[in-house]
Amino acid sequence: MPADPLSRVFSALADPTRRDMVARLAVADATVNGLAEPYDVSVQAVSKHLKVLEDAGLVSRSRQAQRRPVHLEADVFDLMTTWIERYRRQAEERYRRLDDVLQTMPDDVDTPTPSTQTGAPS
Amino acid sequence: MPADPLSRVFSALADPTRRDMVARLAVADATVNGLAEPYDVSVQAVSKHLKVLEDAGLVSRSRQAQRRPVHLEADVFDLMTTWIERYRRQAEERYRRLDDVLQTMPDDVDTPTPSTQTGAPS
DNA sequence: TTGCTCTTCAACCGACTGGTTGACAACAAG
DNA sequence: CTTGTTGTCAACCAGTCGGTTGAAGAGCAA
């Protein structure tokens, strides 16, 4: 329960069955039994999956008689995309700059094997 | 081991320590010991984390004497972003259309009868 | 050779996960 | 009220996960 939101979302989508549920919920809301129908698992297992998705904020549920329609909350996707884009941009920018090879290796300053540089360090 | 690539990437990033490693690797490559230094865990644990990231394709490793520099492979991010964007777009589009409420909660149509639900209760 | 550093491998441990079955609450319809 | 549908809760089980410690492999430096 005390996991950070980002971990919960990534973890929730790490399961193929849950990803498939999300994919189907993107098309239309569904009930638990309706969601469980294509899979070869018990309805209780699907209910557990839905709890994981709900705890991650990916899904919300209302009441309708004895049914509990499941609705996809796509806003949480932004949590991931912002995180991903941030570091991808950093990595790409670093890749674009060529001089970063000078900074990649030295863990400590006294590099044991000197002069391996191309000899013309600016 | 036979998990699909998408599951591996999501699962790898579900851990906060591994996400932090990715964040630091976006800035610069690093060695195992260098990566392990800020964390309060053993170097072996960090080595395990790196194996997970490597199996997910998020990281590559070269040889350099007895060191094994770790390099971030940002291309795998696209796997996630395409998946996410696909279903977010579907969900948003569905949200924009108003008439879908007619399909999600049919009030007085012939839906409550489960006779034509799935046909084969197996 | 003998060391020393960096890293991984192997075994083990507690906690969590995804699945099961069984019981039960809530509601609709007969 | 009784029956049937829908969904959750509880207990249990095997497997995975993140962590540990200990040993060992791979490469440089004396």
pLDDT, tens digit, 9 for 90 and up, residues B39-72: 999 999 999 999 999 999 999 999 988 899 999 9
CB within 8 Å: B14 and A14: yes
Q: How many angstroms is C1' of C8 away from CA of B58?
A: 19
Transcribe chain B into DSSP letters.
Answer: ----HHHHHHHHTTSHHHHHHHHHHHH--B-HHHHHTTSSS-HHHHHHHHHHHHHTTSEEE--BTTB--EEE-GGGHHHHHHHHHHHHHHHHHHHH-STTHHHHS-SSSS-S-GGGSSS---
Going by CATH, does the domain composed of B5-76 fall within 3.40.50.720?
no
Which residue of chain A is at minimal alpha-carbon distance from B19? A7
Structure tokens at A83: 């995180």
pLDDT of the residue at B3: 87
- Asked whether residue B103 carries a pLDDT value surpassing 80, the answer given is no
Q: How much of chain B, in percent, has pLDDT values that exceed 70?
A: 79
Question: How many C-beta neighbours within 10 Å does residue B43 have?
Answer: 13
Which among A106, A107, B67, A108 has a CA at the least distance from the CA of A116? A106
Q: State the nearest Cα–Cα gap between B54 and chain A, in angstroms.
A: 16
CA–CA separation, B98 and B80 (whole Å): 29
- What is the rounded distance in angstroms from the CA atom of residue A68 to the CA atom of residue B26? 43
Q: Would you state the pLDDT for residue B97?
A: 75
Q: Testing the interface with A: which of B80, B82, B111 to mutate, by most A Cβ within 10 A?
A: B80
Predicted confidence at residue B7, as pLDDT, reads 98
Q: How far is the CA of B69 from the C1' of C1 (A)?
A: 30
Looking at the complex, report in whole angstroms how far the Cα of residue B41 sits from the nearest Cα belonging to chain A: 19
Mean pLDDT by 10 residues, chain A (122 residues): 91 98 96 96 98 97 90 95 95 74 43 32 32
Please give the mean pLDDT across all residues of chain B.
Answer: 83
- CA A57 to C1' D1, in angstroms, rounded, equals 41
User: Is residue B53 packed enough to be buried (19+ CB in 10 Å), middle (13-18) or exposed (0-12)?
Assistant: buried
C-alpha torsion sign, points B77, B14, B55, A39? negative
Domain map of chain B by residue range? Answer: 5-76
pLDDT at B1 over 80: no
Tell me how far apart the alpha carbons of residues A47 and A32 are, in angstroms, rounded to a whole number: 7
